Amino acid sequence: MKRVLGNKQNRKTISLLLITVVLAVIIGSFNPDKFFTAQNFQSMTRQLAEIGIYALAMFVIVVSGGLNLSIVAVANLAAICGGSVMQGLILGDVIVSPLARLLVGLLVAVVIGVLSGVLNGYFVAGLGLTAVLVTSATSQLFQGLALVITKGNAIVGAPEAISALGTHNLLGIPYLLLLALGCYIVAEFVFEKTAFGAQCRLLGANATANQYSGNSNYKTLMKSYMLSGFFSAIGGIVSYSRMCALRSDYGNSLTSTAMLVVLMGGAWVVAGGGKVMNIFISLFCIQIISSGLTLSGTSNFTRNTIWGALLIAILLAATPAIQQRLSRLKGLARRRAPNKGNAA
């Protein structure tokens, strides 16, 4: 037990868990009959799945030291292309059976996601441009492309399988939560077990040293942008399943929420670090706050302000100046309660 607690990363996980539970209790106690219901749990986790997958798409890039602002645009583009195939708007004459349309549509969405990653990766890794500039430009590009395809309108309707994904449960657990869980398990596997994950982390820690260690930054970055595009596409399908409609400008605010989750999970602060597990827990944390706000009927303005303030607060809390002050406070508290100090 002592060993588990002693590890710094584990300590972070545990404190995140604690914060989440405490938050759930506090926010739940305001509105217990609405908050602690199966229905609320299901609607919460569906929303969580969406944000969570976007957060993963962001995490993949943040680990390697960049930032991806094009996630939501890629997601919408992928969903629009995939969804159009599913509904027979594209290639409707060639692919007739609904099942074939569904499968081809999913494939198209994923391929679009990965291809968009290739484009981002080419500019960032191949030409060495700043990730923020490139992805904010490609974000426009992809959103523009989506607009061109939809001609500025929403495409309403979805195949049954997709709408079922967004509304049905398996033993009371929404399919979407299971899907998100699956994505997180994949990410956990990639970043904890595989060579690609290890190289991503080294690249994020020091890109120059990684190159001088005989690892190819180009290949690693390219793969990570492709993986980010892949997760974005899945995020797009999740959004589609929840809305049963396709729009080019859907969910623009989700980028900052995704960043908030990743930041809270600690990936941003430790260059090349951050555990997938911590991202997953902070996802719940953010979602509980978000649901609490929705239940108490606050406006988007309040929510945005709180997100912004949280973002800045977490950023500041990780800076050395504040860290020092915090540890001094901790030291004071420990001196006042010597018994507790010895135990730790």
Q: Does 128 bind other proteins (CB under 8 A)?
A: yes
Cα(first)–Cα(last) distance of the chain, in Å? Answer: 12
Q: Report the candidate in 215, 249, 232, 257 with the shortest Cα–Cα distance to residue 135.
A: 232
Q: Report the candidate in 226, 201, 228 with the shortest Cα–Cα distance to residue 68.
A: 228
Q: Does 341 bind other proteins (CB under 8 A)?
A: no
Alpha helices in 206-337 (DSSP H): 207-212, 217-243, 254-265, 276-295, 300-317, 320-336
By CB under 8 A, what part of segment 190-209 binds other proteins?
193-196, 198-199, 201-202, 205-206, 208-209
**Euclidean distance between CA atoms 181 and 34, whole angstroms:** 25
Q: Residue for token digits 């594209």? A: 90
Which span (81-89, 188-196, 282-290, 329-337) binds other proteins, by CB under 8 A?
Answer: 188-196
Supply 321's token pair.
């100046």
Q: Does 290 bind other proteins (CB under 8 A)?
A: no
Backbone angles phi, psi at 37, to 5 degrees: -125, 155
**Euclidean distance between CA atoms 65 and 272, whole angstroms:** 7
Cβ closest to other proteins, residue 214 vs residue 338:
214
Contact 240, 161 (CB under 8 A): no
Which span (19-27, 51-59, 294-302, 328-336) binds other proteins, by CB under 8 A?
Answer: 294-302
**Euclidean distance between CA atoms 234 and 86, whole angstroms:** 15
Q: Does 4 bind other proteins (CB under 8 A)?
A: no
**Euclidean distance between CA atoms 315 and 324, whole angstroms:** 14
Q: Does 129 bind other proteins (CB under 8 A)?
A: yes
**Euclidean distance between CA atoms 102 and 113, whole angstroms:** 17
Would you give the binding string for other proteins spanning residues 136-175, x where CB under 8 A is met? xxxxxxxxxx-xx-xxx-----------------------
Distances (CA, A) of 52 to 90, 141, 265: 30, 24, 12
Q: Does 315 bind other proteins (CB under 8 A)?
A: yes
CB of 246 to other proteins, least distance (A): 14
CB of 277 to other proteins, least distance (A): 17
- Per CB under 8 A, the list member of 179, 183, 259, 279 interacting with other proteins is 259
CB of 261 to other proteins, least distance (A): 13
**Euclidean distance between CA atoms 229 and 236, whole angstroms:** 10
Cβ closest to other proteins, residue 42 vs residue 143:
143
Supply 67's token pair.
């930032």
Alpha helices in 122-174 (DSSP H): 131-150, 160-167
Q: How many CB atoms lie within 10 A of CB 151?
A: 8
Q: Does 186 bind other proteins (CB under 8 A)?
A: no
Which span (88-96, 211-219, 238-246, 284-292) binds other proteins, by CB under 8 A?
Answer: 211-219
- Per CB under 8 A, the list member of 20, 210, 224, 241 interacting with other proteins is 210
CB of 210 to other proteins, least distance (A): 7
- Per CB under 8 A, the list member of 35, 54, 123, 240 interacting with other proteins is 123
Q: Does 316 bind other proteins (CB under 8 A)?
A: yes
CB of 235 to other proteins, least distance (A): 19
Supply 316's token pair.
């500041």
By CB under 8 A, what part of segment 219-248 binds other proteins?
219
Footprint of other proteins (CB under 8 A): 123, 127-130, 132-134, 136-145, 147-148, 150-152, 193-196, 198-199, 201-202, 205-206, 208-216, 218-219, 256, 259, 268, 270-272, 299-305, 307-312, 315-316, 319, 321-322
